[in-house]
Every structure is written in structure tokens, then in C-alpha cells.
Structure 1
Amino acid sequence: MFGISARPALVLAYFTYFGVLGIFVPYFGLFLDGRGLSSADIGLLLAIVTASRIVGPSVWALVAERSGKPLWVMRIGALLASVGWLSSFADYGFWPLLAGFALFSFFWTAILPQLEVSAFTFLNDDTQAYSRIRTAGSVGYIVLVMLGGWLFERYGSEFLPLSALLFLLLLLASLFLLPQVSVAAELTSETVSFSKFLQNSVLLRFMLAALLLQMSFAPFYGFFTLYSRDLGYSGTETGLFIGLSIAAEIAAFYFAGNLMRNRSYRLLLGICYGVTVLRWYLLATFADNVWLLCFSMLLHAGSFAIAHSCAMQFIQQFFPKKLRSRGQALYAGIIFGGGGAIGAYFSGILWQNGNGASLTFNIAALLALLATILALSLPKQKPVA
């Protein structure tokens, strides 16, 4: 009813979705710390909230699959996620925060898998076009990260509730601009079993490697802003560090389509995961050196952007059209939900209010090394089950 052409609408949807994350991910730890939570409490809350992303994507994918209306699933998810976010405005301690953010996280999982599937549908599986549109998400993230650093210095950690809510409402509005997409015809044209694909050994190795990598990201996502503060960097400097990593991500996403064309999937993932080992080692050992810290941030181009593009292409090629929504949900649930929850919980225990920061990042480097070994065991080309 309010739809515009697909590409600009997708750009706006990705921009606003990751704009919310640009406020939430880097500054959530600072927000919880400002509310008086210990690092163990922060890790536990992050773990439980993230765990809701294990079940959520599959539930919403099934709804989208049965209804054939992924756009409505995204809109409902954005609306109810906004309702859950309202809990952040009140300060009643750990459990009310946990309940509100768990509600937010569960409904938030309705959006991205369906957005990814819809994007590939609109773009006729054009990976290069997807990578360039996906850069809008990175731009949204970097803009809000930079703004968040300034807002934190000016207003403290309580800037987060209102800022994120405004972008949640912008996201909801952007989803009403997307043109309608229906997958009903594709759903009835194929009769294949999802369980058949889950038994493929290459898929299992791919998923385990991605899980380990995501676990290694947990201390960065949950505690980097606290780590930076403890090292004496200002809020603006912290925003600049994170902004540098997202600038590298934007460049990598833009060229990812060309980079992945006719190149070994195993080699690309092996390099990306190996780069992540170096990244966490540098954070563990040399984060007080501003130049090495900046260099580690630039490695985000490989450790996230190229690795994520490879993963999205794998899902799109491995699963038939009927099952892509569930494939995306499986990936989001196990990797971002399961890996993020496990990593957040143990990072909270190891962090010890900053005393265990180096140990935590060194363990993250070890997890990334195990992921690299698994990635190098994959075949050169993606299999079709």
C-alpha cells in the first residue's frame, strides 16, 4: 500500500535495522553497567537474551513459510520488539530488564532472516547486488555507533533507551515501504525434507565452525566499550574505533560479490577465520597501543563482512527456495543465538569486572583458531544436498 521500488526500500530497511544494532550492541554493556550490574550479571543477561534468538528465528520462519507472507512477519516482529524495548525506560533491577529484553530479542529475530530471503528474492539471487545493498546496513551501524559515542559522553549510558526506540520506529516505518513479496508459489512447488539437509556432514562442519567463530565474538560485542573505557579511551574515541571497524566492513561488503566470484569457499573462510585469530590476540595483548588497536578493528572486514557474505551465499545455494527461510533461521538461531548466548555467558564469568579481559580475548582467539581448522576442512565448492 505504501510500497516503493524494491532496491531503495531494501536500502532503508537495512540502514534502520542495523542502525538499531549500532546503538544496542556496542553500548548495551555500558548501559547495564550504568544500571549497577556486575560483569557476571551482564554476561548472564546477555546470554539469556541472546538465547531467545535460538528458537525465535525458526518459529518466525515457520510462520513465514506457512503464510507465504514474510513481509508481514517482519512488520509484526518490529512492532512487538518496540513494545518489549519500552522496558528499558524503567529501572526496576535485573529481572524486569531481563524480561523486557528477552521479549525484544525474541520478536527482533522475526526480521533479519525474512529480510535476507526477501532481498535475494527481489534481487534474483544476485550476490553482487545483495552485497552492495547490504552496505546500507553497515552505514546505519557506523552512523549510530559514532552518534552513540557522542551521546554517551554528553548524557551518559541512559541515552540508549530513547535513541534505540526512535530507530526501532523508523525501522517499522521502513518495512511498510517495502513492496509485497510472496513465496507461496515456491512453497507448493517443491516437496523436500528439511531433515535431509541437516544430515549433510559439510553443513554440520560449516555450522560448527560458524558457531565457534560467533562464540569468539561475544567478549567484543558484550564488553569492548567497557574494555576501552578501562584502558582510558573516551566515549568518542571508542565510537571512532568501532566506526573504523564498520568502515572496513562497508568496503568489504561492497566488493564482496566480486571477491567471492570463482574463488574457493574453503580458502575464503579459512582466511577470514584466521584473520579473526589475529584480531582477538591483538585486543588481548596490545589494546593499549592505539595504532595496533586500530589495525585490529580494520580486520573486521574479513572476520565479519566477507565471512558473513560467504555464509549467506552458502545458505542460499545449499537450500532450495522452499527451505531458504528455514535455512536462514537455522543459521541465525544456532550461530547468533546459540553461539552468542554461550559466548556471552562464559565471557561474563571470565571478564571479572575487567581483570580477566586479556584472558577472555585470548580464549576468543583460540576459539577462532578451532573455527579456522574446521573451515579449512570444508570442500572447495559448496555442496548441494
Structure 2
Amino acid sequence: MAANAVAIRIAVFYAAIFTVIGLRMPFWPVWLAGRGLDPGEIGIVLAVGSWMQVAAAPWVASRVDRRGERRKVLAILAAAAALGYALFDLADGFLAVLVVAGLVAAVFTPILPLGDNIAMLAVSRYGIDYGRARLWGSISFTIAATGGGLAIAGQSERVLWLIVAAVAATAGAALLLPDIRTRRQRDRIGALRVLLADRRFVAFLVTAGCLQCSHAMIYGFGTLHWQGAGLSAGFVGFLWAESVVAEILFFVWGRDVLARIGPLGLLAAGGAAGLVRWPLTALGSDPLTLALLQPLHAATFGAAHLGAMTYIAQTVLPERSATAQSLHSAIAGGIAFGIAMPVAGVLYGQFGGAGFAAMTLFSAAGLVGTWWLWRTPGPGGP
């Protein structure tokens, strides 16, 4: 299969899965509220995804690495997730919704890290540009999050079936992915145990987690703070769009930056940008200042993400790579945010926008971790 065809198929997969995320993130709580769940119950249902991201995704990935087959498993998971979401239509009451949410999360949370794994294996095998394939995920997320509101038009029950359709499309896109396989593992130790016994890899997970959870305050309370400071909803929307556009532009040229400074250089760039972005964001809500700061998302998220994906690809054996991707997803997207979000809530409650400054500590910790990885002998270091 030609490299261009592989890149297009991976881009289609990212467009499909991020359409799901772009619909689910802003609109799924609306559907849950329409089913009569109160805010506390909605919070519990949403938390199931984070719990399963930590529990289910690495377990599934370790089995995938043991068998060496990825595409078939990914398509089955996506098809099961589409059926699972359809079951929500039959769920009546909090407990029923919670049970279905747990079942759906168990099959949905492994999908993105397994897709990332196939993409990074394709980078090694076919020489594709990961950033230019991944940017279609950012584009589709933006379209889904903005266009979804128009499609729903106040009819919250439509949310569920839009998500079902998008997850089904993800299953179809998974079938189009290249069938990249790795050799079967015949040892009894297992990829999970090997990776978690590697102090460099554990240090990398902590480093990447710190860099990503430095966004906890802005993800959780950015809109609330800016609107409370008197900024219009339109301008707040512009700020979010600006950050996504910056992320997309980085992914367009990220391969050239990666070639110059390597994955650890990208991680360091993400941390250094955070040392600028978060304390200045804490100073106030001046529109011009915020408009100048939001493009730093290209570094705090984009560079850190590309650096993490590439670090895994360059330092982990292919037959353990799915487990490594899922552990990264579980730590950076699950445990780290599970810790950082409550902290951000307390800080915002006590200090308001000044709490953004505390996110600088996460960026600084990520920089220290990157320095340690650079100084410690092993893959990716001296």
C-alpha cells in the first residue's frame, strides 16, 4: 500500500473518532440531563470514562500486543461501542445509564490509543507524516463541536443518534486502516509488567502527564472565567478556535520541527511554553493578551503530544507499542487529569483566574522530567 493511501486512511480514522469526541464533550451532558439525571449523577456517569481509560485500555492493549493483530480488534471495539451507545436509548434511570456507560467505556476507551498505535507504526513502516494525518482529528472536532449545536437545535435526544452514527463511522474507518501486525509475544512476562518496570518509561509517563494536565484549569474553567470577566460568548469562542487552529498549523509543519529538535525537544518546548502561557493568563482577561497567548496551545499541547507519540515509537519495541500507547493515554488522560481537575476546581474557587498561575508548576515539572530523560542513559538520552 502506498504511503499516501495509508496517510489518507489514517486521516479518515482520526476525522471519525474526533467527530465522536467533538459531539460527546459539549453535548453528552445535555442528553444526560434530558434523561432526568441531576448534576451529581451526570458527574459520576462522565467519570466512568476516566476510570475505564485507566483500567480497560491498557488491559486490552496488552492482549493486542500479545496477539500482534490490531485492525480487526479496533473495528470490533468500535462496532461494539456503536451498539453500546444505542443501548442508552433503552436505559431508564440513573443506575441503568451508569451500567450502560460502564459497558460503553470499556470498549470505547481503547479505540483512540490503538488508533494512535497503528498511526505511529505506519510512520515507521511507510514514512507517513503523523502530524498531517492527526490534524484532521482537530479539524473534525472543531466542526462537530460547532456544527453539532446547529444539528441538535434544542432537541437533546438527537445527540445520542449523532454519536451512534459517528461511532459506527469510526468502525467503518477502522476497517480501512492498514493491517499492520507485530510478532506475537511468546514470553509470559507481558508488556504491561515490562514497561512498568522500566524507570525511564515510567518517568516519561509522569513527564507527559504533567505537560498535558497543565491544561486542567483552562479546559475546566477557561470559558467560565472569561465570560465572568465580561468577555462575550463570541470572543470566547474565538479564543478556543484560535488555539485549535494553532494546533492544526503545528501539525502541518510539526514533522520539520521534530526533525530539528527530536521528541524530547518537543516535550521541552511544551513545558517552556507553559512557563509563559499560564502565568500570563493568570494576570487578567485583557482580550489582546489572551488572543496573543492562545496560539501557545500549539506548543503546550501540540508539541507535547507529537513529542510523546514519537518518543514511544522510538523507544518501545513494536510488539509492546499498543500497551505503551494505552498506558500513556491512561496516565496523561486519565490519572493525571483525575488529579489535576479537582485541584483546578479548588484553586478556581479560592483564587479565580489567578489560579491559572499554579498550572505553571505542572509545566515546570514536565520540563524537569524531560531534562531527566535527556540526562539519563537509555533510548532518547545520551
Compute the TM-score of the two structures, normalised by the length of structure 2: 0.82
Judge conservation of contact 2:206–2:331 (CA < 8 Å) in 1: no
Change (3 A) 1:66 1:136: same
Deviation of 1:265 (Å): 4.3
- Structure 2 CA distance, aligned partners of 1:295 and 1:234? 17
Q: 2:261 aligns with which of 260, 263, 275?
A: 263
Aligned length: 375
Deviation of 1:175 (Å): 1.7
Judge conservation of contact 1:53–1:337 (CA < 8 Å) in 2: yes
Instruction: Give CA-to-partner distance per residue, 1:304-334, whole Å, 9 cap, x none.
Output: 1111111011111111111111111221122
- Structure 2 CA distance, aligned partners of 1:156 and 1:226? 24
Q: Which moved more, 1:27-36 or 1:272-281?
A: 27-36
> What letter is aligned with 2:318?
K
Give the corresponding residue for 2:14.
14
Change (3 A) 1:135 1:226: same
Judge conservation of contact 2:48–2:101 (CA < 8 Å) in 1: no
- Structure 2 CA distance, aligned partners of 1:216 and 1:93? 36
> What letter is aligned with 1:306?
A
> What letter is aligned with 2:22?
G
Judge conservation of contact 2:69–2:181 (CA < 8 Å) in 1: yes
- Structure 2 CA distance, aligned partners of 1:159 and 1:358? 35
**Partner secondary structure for residue 124 of structure 1:** helix
- Structure 2 CA distance, aligned partners of 1:347 and 1:156? 32
Judge conservation of contact 1:269–1:376 (CA < 8 Å) in 2: no
Change (3 A) 1:87 1:226: farther
Change (3 A) 1:289 1:148: farther
Q: Which moved more, 1:62-71 or 1:357-366?
A: 357-366
Give the corresponding residue for 2:366.
371
Change (3 A) 1:179 1:373: closer
Judge conservation of contact 2:69–2:180 (CA < 8 Å) in 1: yes
Judge conservation of contact 1:17–1:137 (CA < 8 Å) in 2: yes
Change (3 A) 1:7 1:128: closer
- Structure 2 CA distance, aligned partners of 1:104 and 1:246? 28
Residues 1:278 and 2:276 are matched in the alignment: yes
Judge conservation of contact 1:22–1:141 (CA < 8 Å) in 2: yes
Give the corresponding residue for 1:318.
315
Identity of aligned residues (%): 23
- Structure 2 CA distance, aligned partners of 1:312 and 1:25? 23
1:321-332 matches, within 5 Å, as 321-332=318-329
Give the corresponding residue for 1:163.
162
> What letter is aligned with 1:293?
L
Q: 1:298 aligns with which of 295, 308, 325?
A: 295
Give the corresponding residue for 1:208.
206
Q: Which moved more, 1:356-365 or 1:105-114?
A: 356-365
Change (3 A) 1:204 1:343: same
Change (3 A) 1:359 1:87: farther
Give the corresponding residue for 1:56.
56
- Structure 2 CA distance, aligned partners of 1:13 and 1:245? 22
Give the corresponding residue for 1:178.
177
1:177-256 matches, within 5 Å, as 177-183=176-182, 186-187=183-184, 194=191, 195-231=193-229, 237-256=235-254
Change (3 A) 1:36 1:365: farther
Give the corresponding residue for 2:115.
115
Deviation of 1:170 (Å): 1.9
Instruction: Give CA-to-partner distance per residue, 1:280-324, whole Å, 9 cap, x none.
Output: 3344443x3333333332111001111111101111111111111
Compute the TM-score of the two structures, normalised by the length of structure 1: 0.81
1:315-354 matches, within 5 Å, as 315-348=312-345
Judge conservation of contact 1:318–1:382 (CA < 8 Å) in 2: no
Instruction: Give CA-to-partner distance per residue, 1:90-149, whole Å, 9 cap, x none.
Output: 896655554443433322222122212222333435666222211221221222233246
Instruction: Give CA-to-partner distance per residue, 1:163-205, whole Å, 9 cap, x none.
Output: 333322221222233343333xx23599986444434433232
Judge conservation of contact 1:71–1:181 (CA < 8 Å) in 2: yes
- Structure 2 CA distance, aligned partners of 1:90 and 1:229? 37
> What letter is aligned with 1:181?
I
Give the corresponding residue for 1:309.
306
Change (3 A) 1:255 1:37: farther
> What letter is aligned with 2:313?
Q
Judge conservation of contact 2:67–2:185 (CA < 8 Å) in 1: no
> What letter is aligned with 1:370?
A
- Structure 2 CA distance, aligned partners of 1:50 and 1:68? 26
- Structure 2 CA distance, aligned partners of 1:77 and 1:342? 28
Deviation of 1:360 (Å): 4.7
**Partner secondary structure for residue 213 of structure 2:** helix
Deviation of 1:229 (Å): 4.8
- Structure 2 CA distance, aligned partners of 1:250 and 1:243? 10
Q: 2:378 aligns with which of 354, 373, 383?
A: 383
Judge conservation of contact 2:22–2:141 (CA < 8 Å) in 1: yes
- Structure 1 CA distance, aligned partners of 2:95 and 2:38? 11
Instruction: Kindly report the root-mean-square deviation, in angstroms, between the aligned alpha carbons of the 2 structures.
Output: 3.6
- Structure 1 CA distance, aligned partners of 2:344 and 2:278? 13
Instruction: Give CA-to-partner distance per residue, 1:197-244, whole Å, 9 cap, x none.
Output: 434433232221222233332343344444455455565554433222
Deviation of 1:259 (Å): 0.4
Judge conservation of contact 1:62–1:326 (CA < 8 Å) in 2: yes
- Structure 1 CA distance, aligned partners of 2:162 and 2:282? 31
Deviation of 1:54 (Å): 0.6
